[in-house]
Amino acid sequence: MYNWLLGGKDNYVVDRQAARILLQLVPNYGELVRSNKRFLWRVVRLLAEQHGVKQFLDHGVGLPAQVNVHQIVQQVDSNARVVYIDNDPMVLAHGRALLEENDETAVIEADVADTEAIFGHCEVQRLIDFERPVAALFVSVLHCLPDRADPVGMVRRVARRLAPGSFVVVCQLTSEDAQVRSQVTEFMRGCVGTWGRVRRRCEVAACFDGMDVLAPGLVEVSSWRPGPGESVPASHACQEYGGVGMVR
């Protein structure tokens, strides 16, 4: 569904049908998906260029896009290293074909909530030096995780294991309207079975406890340092909400 909304070709009829129904529930969802991807691009470029981050852990990467994290950060530093994490067989098959372009990138199979397995994976240990700053990305993935996976606790566990000066990037689908949260959550669970839920902004904010949040703070992601010519859409009942925290 996400791939189709981004204009990709790696999707099926059932994905397109479900996405069209979702657009009836959340008319701006396609806009949210696109602005979320641009948020990711802006963040990783800023972290690489202005903060010198050379190591990235992308939790729940999803299907490859036209522009991916390693392509952005390796333009800044060809030695920058990126590990993509997912447990979807289709994502893994496509990802390994398209994302492992050089020795500084890897795609690993793991549950994003299993921090021990991720940090202990041989490819993570090969590529990532946890004595140095790392950017841990949780972009549009937490709403896919049920509460029993403790997504807030997962983010905090990862942050605790990162060196000072590391960064944590989080955004997820939110709404302050209880009816919208319920309708979208019920629909998505019906589509994919195990899914998380649309959450409130305060639940996203809880991920950043103990971190220094970069300006402009936690916002609807199209408002996070938009580039020249990037418009900030009007507020809607559903938003991709989040920001960037620096580990102390």
Confidence at 245, pLDDT banded by 50, 70, 90 = very high
Residue in the structure block whose two tokens are 């902004």:
201
For residues 210 and 246, give the distance between their C-alpha atoms in angstroms, rounded to a whole number.
9
Query: What is the DSSP code (8-state) at residue 169?
Result: E
Neighbours of 89 (CB within 10 A): 9
The per-residue pLDDT of the chain, averaged, comes to: 91
Which residues, at least 6 apart from 1, have a Cβ–Cβ distance to it below 8 Å? 11, 15, 16, 18, 19, 22, 191
Higher pLDDT, 232 or 230: 230
pLDDT tens, residue by residue, 102-124: 899 999 999 999 999 999 999 99
Confidence at 40, pLDDT banded by 50, 70, 90 = very high
Note the pLDDT of residue 208: 98
**Single-letter amino acid, residue 74:** Q
The answer to whether 104 and 75 are in contact (CB under 8 A) is: no
Which residues, at least 6 apart from 125, have a Cβ–Cβ distance to it below 8 Å? none
Neighbours of 111 (CB within 10 A): 16
What are the structural domains of the chain?
2-246 (3.40.50.150)
Note the pLDDT of residue 199: 97
Q: Residues 217-244: what's their mean pLDDT?
A: 86
For residues 61 and 117, give the distance between their C-alpha atoms in angstroms, rounded to a whole number.
17
Note the pLDDT of residue 232: 66
pLDDT score of 143 more than 80: yes
The answer to whether 48 and 77 are in contact (CB under 8 A) is: yes
Confidence at 210, pLDDT banded by 50, 70, 90 = very high
Specify the 3-state DSSP secondary structure of 137: strand
pLDDT tens, residue by residue, 79-97: 999 999 998 887 788 778 7
pLDDT tens, residue by residue, 55-71: 999 999 876 767 899 99
Note the pLDDT of residue 89: 81
For residues 26 and 24, give the distance between their C-alpha atoms in angstroms, rounded to a whole number.
6
The pTM assigned to this predicted structure is 0.91
For residues 109 and 152, give the distance between their C-alpha atoms in angstroms, rounded to a whole number.
21
Higher pLDDT, 64 or 16: 16
pLDDT score of 194 more than 90: no
